[in-house]
Structure 1
C-alpha cells in the first residue's frame, strides 16, 4: 500500500526566527519559555493546516497513523539538525540545541493536531514545557511562561545589552535549551567546543531524545 506523505516543510519555520534568538539571548534563563510561546504562535497554525490538509488527502487515516507521520517526519529532521547551523564553538552549540528544541516543539504541536487537539491554544505552551521536561508540573510551567511573557513585553520598552558577558549568556542559554531538547543533548553544548567533536553530534543523540519526546506526546494527546 502506498504510504501517505506529510505536507512539505515550511522553510521559514525550519529554524527559530531571529526575533526569538534575540529574546532568548537577552533573557537566557527563560529561553525555553520564550521558545514555547513563540512555537505556539508561529508553529501552531502550521500544524493545524498540516493536519487538516493531510486528513483531506487521506481521509482513511486514523489519529494514530497521522501522529506516526508527524513523528517520522520530525525525527528525520532532528537527526540532521545538528549540522544546520554550520557554526563552530559555543555559539554553534547553542544554535544546534536551539534548532533541535524548535524542531521538537514543531513535532509535539503536529502530534497534538493529529489527535484533534488545537495546536494554537495557549495551553500548548504549558504542555510543551512539561513534555520537554523543563518543568515537572503544569502550574510551575504556567508561572514561568507568565514571567517570560512579561519580560518579553518589557524588552520591547527597554532594549539594549544586558551587561552580562556574552559567554556567560550563551552558556546559560545553551544549557537551558539543551534541557528542553533532552538530557543527552546537554553534552552537545560543550562537546562542540572541542575540535573534531562536532562530527559525533546529530544523528543518534537527536534521534533518541526526539523519539522519547514523541512517545510522551502521543500518550498525552491520545488521551485527549
Structure 2
C-alpha cells in the first residue's frame, strides 16, 4: 500500500461547478473535498500509522504539512510562470491543497475526515465563515444548487468575465490571499514564480497551524525530546 500523497488538482467537474456558481465557490470546493479527499486522508493516516507505529501524532502531522506545503510551492511557482490566467487557477489549486491538508490533519488526530462536519471545518479554518452556523447554512444552499445545473445556478445576466472575477476573489479569500497586490504580482512573469511559491507556502502554513490547534487533542502529550547522554 502506498502512503505517498499524490499531487492533485481540483477535479474538472468541480471547476465547472464553481465557474457556474461563483458566489458559492468555497462551499462547492469544501463539499467536493470531503467527498473526494476524505476517504483518501483516512486511508493515508491508517497506512502511516502501520508504517511508523512508534511515531508521535505530531510527527505524522508534520509529514502531512511538509508534503502539502511542497505541493503549494510547486503549483504557485508553476502558475506564476504563465501570467494572470495562472494566478486565477492557482488560487483554486491553493484552496484545494489547503483543504486536502486539513482533512489529512483531521485523520492524523483521529477525527473522521469523511463526515459532512469536515466541510464546515474547512470553511471556518479557511476563514470563509466566522462560525460553524453560517458555514453550515451556506453549505446547505450550495448543496442544493449543485443539483440545479449551471444554466440555472449562474446569476442572471452575469458575464463570463464578471463570473471569473467573482470566482477568483472568493477563492482568493478562501485560500487566505487577501492582499490583491499579491495576487496581481503573481501575474507578473518571472517575478510571479518566486512570489507565487512564497505566497502559497505561507498560506499553507497558516491553515496548518489553525487546523492543528483545532484537531490536536488537549490531552495529547508533547513530542518527547531526546535524552541527553550522561556525563
Q: TM-score range by the shorter chain?
A: 0.7 to 0.9
Q: CA deviation at 1:90?
A: 4.0
> Retained in 1: the 8 A contact 2:26–2:128?
yes
Residue of structure 1 equivalent to 2:14: 20
Residue of structure 2 equivalent to 1:40: 34
TM-score normalised to the size of structure 1? 0.88
Residue of structure 1 equivalent to 2:3: 7
CA distance in 2, matches of 1:187, 1:177: 15
CA distance in 2, matches of 1:77, 1:62: 23
Residue of structure 2 equivalent to 1:57: 51
1:113 maps onto 2:95 in alignment: no
> Retained in 2: the 8 A contact 1:132–1:180?
yes
* Structure 1 residues 86 and 211: CA distance shift in structure 2, 3 A: closer
User: Match of 2:146, SS?
Assistant: helix
> Retained in 1: the 8 A contact 2:65–2:101?
yes
* Structure 1 residues 103 and 185: CA distance shift in structure 2, 3 A: farther
Q: CA deviation at 1:94?
A: 1.6
Structure 1 stretch 184-193 or stretch 110-119: which is displaced more? 184-193
Q: Deviations over 1:38-92 (max 9, x none)?
A: 0000000110010000101111112211111111111111111124457845432
> Retained in 2: the 8 A contact 1:26–1:162?
no
> Retained in 2: the 8 A contact 1:97–1:185?
no
> Retained in 2: the 8 A contact 1:88–1:192?
no
Q: CA deviation at 1:194?
A: 4.5
CA distance in 1, matches of 2:193, 2:212: 31
Residue of structure 2 equivalent to 1:212: 206
CA distance in 1, matches of 2:179, 2:63: 24
Q: Deviations over 1:131-151 (max 9, x none)?
A: 000000000000000111111
Report how many residues are paired. 217
User: Which blocks of at least 5 consecutive residues in structure 2 are unaligned?
Assistant: 219-231
CA distance in 1, matches of 2:127, 2:24: 14
Q: CA deviation at 1:198?
A: 2.4
* Structure 1 residues 194 and 83: CA distance shift in structure 2, 3 A: closer
Task: Look at both structures and tell me which one has the larger radius of gyration over its CA atoms.
Answer: 2
User: Match of 1:201, SS?
Assistant: helix
Q: CA deviation at 1:166?
A: 1.6
Residue of structure 1 equivalent to 2:91: 97
* Structure 1 residues 8 and 19: CA distance shift in structure 2, 3 A: same
Aligned-residue RMSD, C-alpha? 2.4
Residue of structure 1 equivalent to 2:229: none
